[in-house]
A and B are shown apart, each in its own frame.
Chain A
């Protein structure tokens, strides 16, 4: 009975001090409304971070529609690059799901392989993104070259920062999970962040890249 309750609390061992602090009753009689605090905190972070991106993307969309002579720097080559980047990022979400499910199934070697795959795909995405940045910079579009440059580099830079942070976070979680110092619930929470980064990209591509080809 006690073991089952411990699993629900995030698969962490309950120490004697915790038992003394909360008593056995709190562990055995779980509230039907109880929410794992780690996961809940990540959801609150995701919602607050979504506001940041939402504000930037709304501003971009608004400026894009309201400005008749908006800069249109993207050509077919850029679209192919964006398609590749998007497929890489969605695939990384898939491998992250594999990592989360494998860790829950206590298959650590497979979870680690999926985590490394996610990191590799995230790094590939970042490299493709930076390559595209250099192409734009080479054509004279910079952070200070006009409204397009300012908004483009701000939004994609913020997203790229999230991707790089995510890769670092996955690396740290993977290392500690491999060493047995973190649990599958940590992998799951990191996965939530990674999927969020993927979802944000679903909005960045249409607004920033694809509206480039509108009439």
Chain B
């Protein structure tokens, strides 16, 4: 057993606590009487922050070799462009106001 493995998770604890703090802020904001649209935008921004931290430090993207990082960028752009295909349906639904339960 190497000495370095003694405290393997200690270096990740700051990110871990920040992620939990962001989540608790989200819960706090949920009870602040925002409108649906504003709350969705606020919560999504915080979720994107969490995702960034997770990607960079939990999934080690920040430490990966540049080749992997650069290869994933065009793939991600392609994927986002493909998602563009669902926007037209979304606009149609906006005017239909589908019924809820």
Contact = CB atoms under 8 A, between A and B. Distances in A.
A211 B23 contact: no
Interface string B34-53: 11111110011011001100
A202 B101 contact: no
A79 B100 contact: no
A148 B58 contact: no
B36 A55 contact: no
Given A32-B67, A90-B16, A71 B101 contact: yes
Contacts of A202: 19, 23, 47, 50-51, 54
A86 B100 CA distance: 27
B12 to A, nearest CB: 5
Interface in A8-62: 32-35, 39-40, 43-44, 47-48, 50-51, 54-55, 58-59, 61-62
A146 B43 contact: no
A102 B8 contact: yes
Interface string A177-215: 000000000000000100110110011011100111111
B84 to A, nearest CB: 11
A215 B34 contact: yes
| B contact patch SS | helix
Interface residues of A, number: 68
Nearest to B89: A59
A93 B58 contact: yes
B12 A214 contact: no
Given A110-B1, A202-B54, A206-B46, A214 B83 contact: no
5 contacts: A47-B75, A86-B20, A98-B9, A198-B58, A206-B30
Given A32-B67, A51-B79, 8 more contacts: A35-B67, A40-B71, A51-B83, A63-B98, A79-B30, A95-B9, A101-B8, A199-B50
Interface of A: 32-35, 39-40, 43-44, 47-48, 50-51, 54-55, 58-59, 61-71, 79, 83, 86-87, 90-91, 93-95, 97-98, 101-102, 105-107, 109-110, 114, 141, 145-149, 192, 195-196, 198-199, 202-203, 205-207, 210-215
Interface of B: 1-2, 4-5, 8-9, 12-13, 16, 19-20, 23-24, 26-27, 29-31, 33-40, 43-44, 46-47, 50-51, 54-55, 58-59, 65, 67-68, 71-72, 75-76, 79, 82-83, 86, 90, 93-94, 97-101
